[in-house]
Amino acid sequence: MIGIESIPATWFLGGCGAAAVWIAYWLWDRKREKVFCREKTFSIRKPFPLIGTPDLVMQEKGGQLSVHDLKTRNRPALYESDKIQLSLYRLLLERATGRRVSEFGVIRVRGPQGEKMLRVKLLPAADLEALYLRYMDLAEGSGGCAKYANNRKLCEFCGFKGKECFPPNPPERKTKAR
């Protein structure tokens, strides 16, 4: 928010028009979101242990928080991992602060075309808990294998390397006709 000390003296010397512009901006600015925190680490133990550092958390006029994450990409794309990341931040903030957090998050993608803001509907806490439990089953080896990969080379980096979970006849990848 703009403070009176940051207004150039020439605005006041320029007459009523400049002062009216400043007042209009000040009134408009009061309606917008305000920064709640930037890159602050939060942690919780329930419903499962979680530590995270959201890039930016905004506070709306009514006090509700919203989660924003900054990505640098060649094109403005949204991935499932972005949705999960913001959803986990939402859960983390709700439990750590006791405040209401919007069911929508924002991915700010910076790239060659500039910055674009993408709105994301976040996952409910029950879905996140199910993801966590599935991950723990896989990590402990009791959940079977992960989903099949489309490319055998991905197996080189998999946490289940050494298990035979690649299908005998992997599905053909669909390619677009040129």
- Please give the mean pLDDT across all residues of the chain: 78
List own/partner pairs for 103-107 with CB under 8 A and 24 or more apart.
104/66, 105/66, 105/67, 105/68, 105/69, 106/66, 106/67, 106/68, 106/69, 107/68, 107/69, 107/71, 107/78, 107/82
Residue 113 has a pLDDT of: 86
31-56: pLDDT as tens digits: 567 999 999 999 999 999 999 999 99
Q: How many domains does the chain have?
A: 1
Domain contains 7 = no
Residue 7 has a pLDDT of: 44
Domain contains 22 = no
Residue 136 has a pLDDT of: 86
Q: What is the pLDDT along the chain (178 residues), one digit of tens a residue?
A: 444 444 444 444 444 555 555 555 555 555 567 999 999 999 999 999 999 999 999 998 889 999 999 999 998 889 999 999 999 999 999 999 999 999 999 999 999 988 999 999 999 999 999 999 988 887 777 766 656 666 767 676 666 665 656 555 555 555 555 4
Residue-range definition of the domain harbouring residue 100 = 33-144
Domain contains 170 = no
Q: What CATH number has the domain bearing residue 133?
A: 3.90.320.10
Residue 147 has a pLDDT of: 62
Domain contains 178 = no
Domain contains 171 = no
Residue 138 has a pLDDT of: 77
Residue 59 has a pLDDT of: 94
CB crowding 145-154: b at 16 or more within 10 Å, else e: ebeeeeeeee
Domain contains 150 = no
- Which token pair is 166? 């690649």
